[in-house]
Chains A and B, each alone.
Chain A
Amino acid sequence: MIENLRTALAGARFELRVLPRSPGDLMALVTAPVTTIVFLAITQHAGRHDLATYAVLGPALMALWSMALMVCGEMIDAERAGGTFEALVATPARPLPLLAGRIVVVVTVSLLSFAESWLVAALVFSIVVPVPHPGLFVAALLATVLAMAGWASIMASVFVLARSARIFQNSLSFPFYVLGGVMLPVSQLPDWLRPVTRLVFLSWSSDLLRDSLNSVGVRYAVPRIGLVLGFAVVGLLIGRVLLNAVLNRSRTAGTLAYA
C-alpha cells in the first residue's frame, strides 16, 4: 500500500514537471475562457441572465473532459513513442499507481478551468456567480476528479489496445458533452436518450455541480456524490484490467517498445 502510494506520488511529481512544459497539453485551459465568453454571450444576448451558472460550468466541464481525453488518453502511447515504456515496465514499481498519480495531476490541473470561467464571467461580463453550497460544490468537484481519473485510465489503455480507437479520440468530445449534460441538463434531452446519459458519470457530476450553485436546497446530495464515487471505483477497476491486458499483450507480442 505504502509502496503504491510512493509510486503514485512519483508519477504525480513527474507529471507536475512535464505538464507546464507542454503547452499543447494545456490547450483546454487556453480555450476554456473563450468558450465561457461564447456561452455567456449566448445567454446574455438572449436575456437569460439566470443561465449564467450553466455558461460558467459548461466550459469548465468541457475542459476537464478534454484534457483527460487528450492528455491522459495518450499517456501510455507517449511513453511507447518516447521509448521509455520498456524501461518503465522493467522497474519493480507497479505501473497502475504510477499512471494514476500522473492522471490525477492532469485532472486536478484541469480544474483551473473552473476558476478561469468564473473569472471571465466576473471580469468580462460583470457577472459574479455565487456558490450557495460551497461544501457540496467542493465535494462534487472532488468526486468528479476521481471519476474522471478512473475513466481516463480506461482511455489510456483503450487507445493502446485498439489502434483504431485512436482515430476516434478526437471524436469523443462533443458526443460526451451532450450525453454528459454539460450545458443542457440531461432531463431536457429526449426521453430515448436519457437512459444512456445515466451511464456517463459526467451527467451526474454536471447536475450536482449546477445544483450546488443553485440557492434552493439540494436533494439526495450524499447518494448522488456516492454514485459519482462509484463511477470512479468502476473506472479504476476497469482501467486496471485493461492496463494489465496492455502489459500482457505487449510482453507476449514483444511490442513494449512500439507496435
Chain B
Amino acid sequence: MQWFRVSRASMANAVQDFAATYTVRTWAFGWLGRIVAQVVFYTLVGRLIGAADQERYLLVGASVMAIVTEVMLTCASSTWERRAGTLPLLVAAPTSLLPVFAGRSVQWLVSSVATSSVSLFAIGPLFGVTWTVSRAVAAAVVLVVCAVGTYCMALALAALVLSVMELRNLVGNLATALTTAVCGAVVPVGFWPRWVQAVAVALPVTHGLRAVRALVAGPAYLAALRDSALALAVAAVWLAVADGLFRWLSERGRRDGSIEFADN
C-alpha cells in the first residue's frame, strides 16, 4: 500500500514533467512525427531490398521498437530526480527507491504505447499490415506488455546510470540500438549466433514482438498470450534486478557518502 502511494506521488511528477515538455501540438507534430518518420524510414529499407514481406516485417518491428526508443528515456529522466537534489531525502525516507523511480518515468509508457499504436494501426495499413478489430485490440494490449516489460529493464539500467549520470543518454541509446539489432525487429532472432539469441531471450520486447507478429499473421490469440506471459516473466526478473541495483546504490551511497545534494 505504501509502495502504491509513493509510486502515485512519483507519477504525478512524471505527468508534470511531460506537460512541461510537450503540449498536445508539439507532441503530435514533434515527437509523434519523428516516430512515424522512424517507422517509415525502416519500412523504406524493406522497399530498398525489394520485397513487400520485408517492408511489412520491418514496419511491425520498427513500430514496436518505437516503444523501446521512448521507454529507454527512463535512463535520462531518472537522473533528473538526482539532479533536482532529492536523492539524499529519498534514501533517508523509510521506503525503497524502486517505487519512486518506477513512478518517475511512467510518462514514457503512455506516450510510447500511443506512438507505437499510431504506427501499427494507422501507418501499418498503408504498407499492407492490416487488422481486424479484435486482433488490433489484442495487439494494443501486447504493446502495453512490451512497454511495461521494457520499462522494467530500463529501470535496471537507470539504477546503474544514476552513478554515472553523464552516460544517461548514451546508455539509453545504446540499449535501444542493441535491442533493435537482436530482438527480432529487423531480422529473425535465429539469424544471430546462439549466444546473441540467448541475450535476445532476456529482453522482454523479444517475446512481446513475437506476440505482435503472431497477431499480424492471424487470430493467434493463444500464442500471443503465451508470449506476453513470457515477456512479463522476463520483466519480473528485470524488476527484481532493478530493485537490487537501487538498494545497492543507496547502501553504497550511505557507506561512501556519494549521495549528495550537488549535481554530478
Contact = CB atoms under 8 A, between A and B. Distances in A.
Interface of A: 22-24, 26-27, 30-31, 34-35, 37-39, 41-43, 45-46, 48, 51, 54, 164, 167-168, 170-175, 177-178, 183-184, 188-189
Given A23-B167, A183-B41, A31 B187 contact: no
Contact of B177 (A31, A43, A172, A184): A31
Given A38-B181, A167-B21, A183-B44, A51 B49 contact: yes
Contact of B37 (A30, A54, A175, A184): A175
A42 B45 contact: yes
Contacts of B34: 170-175
B177 A164 contact: no
Contacts of A30: 170, 173-174
B195 interface: no
B178 A183 contact: no
Nearest to A171: B34
Nearest to B50: A48
Interface string B5-46: 000000000000000011000100111011001101100111
Contacts of A164: 26
A167 B23 CA distance: 10
23 contacts: A24-B166, A24-B170, A27-B169, A31-B174, A34-B174, A38-B177, A38-B181, A41-B191, A42-B45, A42-B187, A45-B188, A51-B49, A164-B26, A167-B21, A167-B22, A171-B34, A172-B34, A174-B40, A175-B37, A177-B41, A178-B40, A178-B41, A183-B41
Contact of A42 (B26, B29, B173, B186): B186
B212 interface: no
Contacts of B49: 42-43, 46, 48, 51
Given A27-B169, A171-B30, A188-B44, 12 more contacts: A31-B177, A34-B178, A37-B181, A41-B186, A42-B49, A45-B191, A48-B49, A167-B26, A171-B33, A175-B33, A175-B34, A184-B44
B58 interface: yes
B48 interface: yes
B217 interface: no
Which size class do B's interface residues fall under?
Answer: 35 or more
A31 B40 contact: no
A34 B177 contact: yes
Q: Chain B's interface: helix, strand, loop or mixed, by majority?
A: helix
A27 to B, nearest CB: 5
Interface string B134-153: 00000000000000000000
A168 B30 contact: yes
B240 to A, nearest CB: 27
A30 B30 CA distance: 25
A179 to B, nearest CB: 9
B180 interface: yes
A-B pairs, 7 with minimum CB distance: A171-B34, A174-B37, A34-B177, A174-B38, A175-B37, A45-B187, A184-B44
Contact of A46 (B30, B40, B51): B51
B111 interface: no
B23 to A, nearest CB: 9
A174 B178 contact: no
Contacts of A184: 44-45, 47-48
A172 B34 CA distance: 7
B33 A35 contact: no
Given A30-B174, A34-B174, A42-B49, A174 B41 contact: yes
B213 to A, nearest CB: 15
Given A23-B166, A178-B44, A31 B26 contact: no
Contacts of B130: none
A34 B192 CA distance: 14
